[in-house]
C-alpha cells in the first residue's frame, strides 16, 4: 500500500504556487444546490442515492496536487476504481460537507483541521445510481494519512495542472446494461482515472476555462 503526504517535488511544505484561490472560489457554488447538476451518460428517472465527495487540492510547494484513492477490489460499489474520498450520506450528516469530511477521516485519516472548504461543484448524477455533491477544498500540509485497509488500496496525488488540462481528457465508451455509455478518462502513469471521478474533474476544468 502506497501513500504520499509530503511534497512530491522535495518532500517539504512551503509557499504554494501555481493556483489562484480567488479564481477557484469564483467558479464554485457557495452552497450546495440541486437546481444545477451534471448528468452522467445513462442516467434515467430512477431514484438516486445522495452522496458526497471531497475534491482535495493539496497546497504543495512545487505546485498544487489532487489527492485521490484507489478503492479495494472487493467493494460492492466501484471496486478497484480511482475515486475521491467520499461516500453515501448518513443520517448523522447535517450537510454535504459533513459527509465529505467524515468520509475523508474514515477512509484515509485526513483530519478536518487541515481542510478549508472553498465551495461546491454542481451535483453530479451517475449512471450507477448516485447523486454526488463535490465539495472542493484545499488541504494544507503537513498531514499524516492512515488508509482504511477495507476500503482504500492506495492513496496518491496527481498534479492539479495535469487534471485541469483539457488535452489530458480522453473520451471513451463501453456497453453497460445493454446500452453504449460514454465517459471521460485521464490516464496518469499507472493510474486510469475515469467515470464519475473524471467527470467531476472535467466539470471543474471547464468552469476554470471559461
Q: pLDDT digit string (tens) for 30-61?
A: 999 888 889 887 676 778 999 999 999 999 99
Overall number of domains in the chain? 1
- Classify residue 195: in a domain, yes or no: no
Strands 37-39 and 123-125: parallel
In angstroms, the CA 190 to CA 62 distance is: 21
Q: What is the CATH number of the domain that holds 54?
A: 3.90.79.10
Q: Which parts of 4-64 fold into alpha helices (H)?
A: 21-26
- Classify residue 185: in a domain, yes or no: no
Question: Does residue 17 register a pLDDT over 90?
Answer: no
In the prediction, which pLDDT does 181 show?
A: 79
- Classify residue 202: in a domain, yes or no: no
- Classify residue 197: in a domain, yes or no: no
- Classify residue 60: in a domain, yes or no: yes
Mean pLDDT over each residue of the chain, to the nearest integer: 87
Read off φ and ψ for residue 108, nearest 5 degrees: -130, 5
- Classify residue 177: in a domain, yes or no: no
Full residue range of the structural domain in which residue 126 is found:
21-160
pTM: 0.88
- Classify residue 94: in a domain, yes or no: yes
The answer to whether residues 185 and 198 touch, using CB atoms and an 8 Å cutoff, is yes
Amino acid at each position: 500500500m502506497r501513500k504520499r503526504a509530503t511534497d512530491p517535488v522535495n518532500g517539504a511544505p512551503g509557499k504554494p504556487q501555481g493556483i489562484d484561490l480567488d479564481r477557484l472560489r469564483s467558479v464554485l457554488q457557495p452552497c450546495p444546490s440541486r437546481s444545477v447538476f451534471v448528468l452522467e451518460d445513462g442516467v434515467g428517472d430512477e431514484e438516486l442515492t445522495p452522496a458526497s465527495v471531497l475534491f482535495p487540492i493539496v497546497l504543495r510547494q512545487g505546485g498544487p496536487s489532487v489527492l485521490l484513492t484507489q478503492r479495494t477490489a472487493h467493494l460492492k460499489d466501484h471496486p478497484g476504481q480511482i475515486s475521491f474520498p467520499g461516500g453515501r450520506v448518513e443520517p448523522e450528516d447535517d450537510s454535504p460537507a459533513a459527509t465529505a469530511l467524515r468520509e475523508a477521516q474514515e477512509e484515509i485519516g485526513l483530519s478536518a483541521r487541515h481542510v478549508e472548504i472553498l465551495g461546491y461543484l454542481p451535483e453530479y448524477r451517475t449512471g450507477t445510481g448516485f447523486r454526488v455533491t463535490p465539495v472542493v477544498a484545499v488541504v494544507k500540509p503537513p498531514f499524516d494519512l492512515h488508509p482504511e485497509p477495507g476500503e482504500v488500496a492506495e492513496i496518491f496525488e496527481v498534479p492539479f495542472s495535469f487534471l485541469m488540462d483539457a488535452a489530458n481528457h480522453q473520451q471513451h465508451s463501453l456497453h453497460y446494461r445493454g446500452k453504449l455509455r460514454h465517459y471521460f478518462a485521464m490516464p496518469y502513469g499507472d493510474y486510469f482515472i475515469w467515470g464519475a471521478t473524471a467527470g467531476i474533474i472535467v466539470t471543474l476544468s471547464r468552469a476554470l476555462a471559461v
